C-alpha cells in the first residue's frame, strides 16, 4: 500500500447531487405559481392606479369644458392617426403618457394605438350630470366610461 495515497475522497456522490437537484426542483415548482400570482397582482394594482389618474384627468377636463364629456373615438387604429382619442385629449391633464400603458397589456395594444384603455364612445358629448347610457340615465355610479 502506498503511504502517500489518501484513503479519503473529498466531494459529493452522484446520489447526493441528484437529491439536492430534486429538492431544488420541488422548491422551484412550489415558488413559481406564487411568483406569477404576485406579478399579476402587481400589474393589476398598477393598472388601477393608471385608471385612477385617467379619472382624475377626466374630472379636470370636465371642469374646463362645462362638464361635457369629450367626443372621442373608442381607440385609434394606429398611434399615428390624427383623431381625438382618450390619450390625445387627456394627456394635457396628465403630463405623463405612461399612464395610458397597462403593464398587463400583453397584446401590445399600447404600442399600436397609444393606449391600453378604450373610451366608451356612447357617452360622447354628454353632460356629466345627465348621462344616458343605453337607456340607463342619472346613475353615473353604474355607467362605465
What are the pLDDT tens digits along the chain (145 aa)?
555 655 566 788 889 899 999 999 988 888 787 888 888 888 889 999 999 999 999 999 999 999 999 999 998 999 899 999 999 999 999 978 889 999 888 888 999 999 999 998 888 888 888 887 777 776 555 666 6
Please tell me the predicted confidence (pLDDT) of residue 92: 93
Please tell me the predicted confidence (pLDDT) of residue 57: 94
Please tell me the predicted confidence (pLDDT) of residue 19: 92
Residue pair 130/137 in contact (Cβ under 8 Å)? The answer is yes
Say whether pTM exceeds 0.75: no
Please tell me the predicted confidence (pLDDT) of residue 139: 57
Q: Which cell goes with 49?
A: 392606479
Please tell me the predicted confidence (pLDDT) of residue 2: 59
What are the pLDDT digits (tens) for 35-62? Answer: 888 888 888 899 999 999 999 999 999 9
The domain spans of the chain are 50-142
Please tell me the predicted confidence (pLDDT) of residue 11: 82
Q: Which cell goes with 119?
A: 373610451
Angle at CA of residue 102, ends 42 and 29, nearest 5° = 40
Amino acid at each position: 500500500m502506498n503511504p502517500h495515497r489518501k484513503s479519503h475522497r473529498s466531494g459529493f456522490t452522484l446520489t447526493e447531487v441528484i437529491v439536492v437537484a430534486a429538492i431544488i426542483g420541488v422548491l422551484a415548482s412550489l415558488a413559481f405559481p406564487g411568483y406569477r400570482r404576485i406579478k399579476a397582482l402587481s400589474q393589476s394594482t398598477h393598472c388601477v392606479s393608471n385608471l385612477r389618474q385617467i379619472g382624475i384627468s377626466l374630472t379636470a377636463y370636465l371642469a374646463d369644458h362645462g362638464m361635457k364629456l369629450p367626443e372621442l373615438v373608442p381607440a385609434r387604429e394606429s398611434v399615428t392617426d390624427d383623431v381625438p382619442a382618450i390619450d390625445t385629449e387627456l394627456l394635457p391633464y396628465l403630463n405623463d403618457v405612461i399612464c395610458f400603458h397597462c403593464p398587463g397589456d400583453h397584446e401590445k395594444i399600447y404600442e399600436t394605438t397609444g393606449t391600453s384603455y378604450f373610451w366608451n364612445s356612447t357617452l360622447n358629448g354628454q353632460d356629466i350630470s345627465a348621462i344616458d347610457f343605453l337607456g340607463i340615465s342619472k346613475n353615473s355610479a353604474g355607467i362605465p366610461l
